[in-house]
Homo-oligomer: A and B are copies of this chain.
Amino acid sequence: MIAVLKPGVTLDERNKLTQWLEHQGVEVHVSEWKSKTILGLIGDTHKIDDELLSVLDIVESVNRISEPYKNVNRKFHQEDTIITVGDVKIGGGNFCVIAGPCSIESEEQIITVAKQIKEAGAHMLRGGAFKPRTSPYDFQGMQSDGLKLLVQAKKETGLPIITEIMSTEHLDLFDEVDIIQVGARNMQNFELLKALGKTKKPILLKRGLASTIKEFLMSAEYIIAGGNKDIILCERGIRTFETYTRNTLDLSAIPLLHELSHLPIVVDPSHATGIRSLVKPMSMAAVAAGTDGLMIEVHNDPKNALCDGPQSLTPEEFADAMVSINKVRAAVI
């Protein structure tokens, strides 16, 4: 970390700052170039609050040379983290496809879809029980009843299950869930992240709509700082000026996150694009870019159903996409 001091800082002011920094466990090297004084901070600088430092009256600017995240950082943990759920592994060369409907609607629906996606080669079942909706008047999900149906589908198919949590108060309901999902809108719900850091279940953390790669990793750091190391990062599109697609899928996040962190990465092309015809090509692109997994929305009967999303594939479309996904996967490993 480099801090540039303002011109005219007195020796006394500088010493006061230096002592405060050393007190926090970093070594301080001072360089003077004409009117500029530059402090180089060496050591465990992730504990230094750079926003706090940059606000001081005597400080002109602060630049991190090393990253503010530590436990999720590949520099300090070279090997890929591998998440194991039943027979399924994610990360470290293991590829995993998660599929299922946006919302759990009925026993018949979730079990039928579960069987169909398993048949097509999916490794895990997703389904929303608690649904974050922009409008209070929109369907909020089947909630705890939905969770029970999801568990039933797990029992019938053997597929591990993943579903979203929206409040720490619901944590008890997630006992039989294999992976807990944190949605994009809750990526910086820090109290939720702290609570999940104390659980023993793997967490799939979705990138916030307007979150930078650095903020994304810092939110993962919240979970790991609480003691839970089993985190999957999920890129699901960011908010930009473009309105044709629901969000802009940032596939460069895949190789970038692989460089910066040892955590596995999953891509959700369904929510990112919001357009059914883009799901298959974006899935293939994500695989070519090195993703460790995909999360794809599949609905068993979108033609007749009245509450399916525009981005859901039919089971047939999903089976077709899986063929292409597997071809690309075979070409890149």
Binding site for B on A (CB under 8 A): 2, 4, 20, 29, 31, 33-34, 36, 38, 40, 42, 46-47, 49, 51-52, 54-57, 60-61, 63, 65, 68-69, 132-139, 166-169, 185-186, 188-192, 194, 208-210, 212-215, 218, 221-222, 225-226, 238-245, 248-252, 254-256, 259, 272-273, 275, 277-278, 281-282, 284-290, 302-303, 306-312, 324, 327-328, 330-332
Contact = CB atoms under 8 A, between A and B. Distances in A.
Contact of A273 (B138, B169, B252, B273): B252
B138 A167 contact: no
Nearest to A324: B332
Contact of A248 (B194, B252, B255): B252
B239 A241 contact: yes
A269 to B, nearest CB: 8
Contact of A244 (B190, B212, B286): B212
Taking each of A65, A166, A256, A288, which has the highest tally of chain B beta carbons within 10 Å of its own beta carbon? Answer: A288
B31 A251 contact: no
Contacts of A210: 208-210, 239, 241
A23 to B, nearest CB: 10
Contacts of A134: 188, 215, 218
7 contacts: A36-B42, A63-B63, A136-B194, A166-B189, A210-B239, A248-B248, A252-B273
A244 B213 contact: yes
A110 to B, nearest CB: 18
Contacts of A285: 251, 254, 285-286, 288-289
B244 A241 contact: no
Nearest to A54: B310
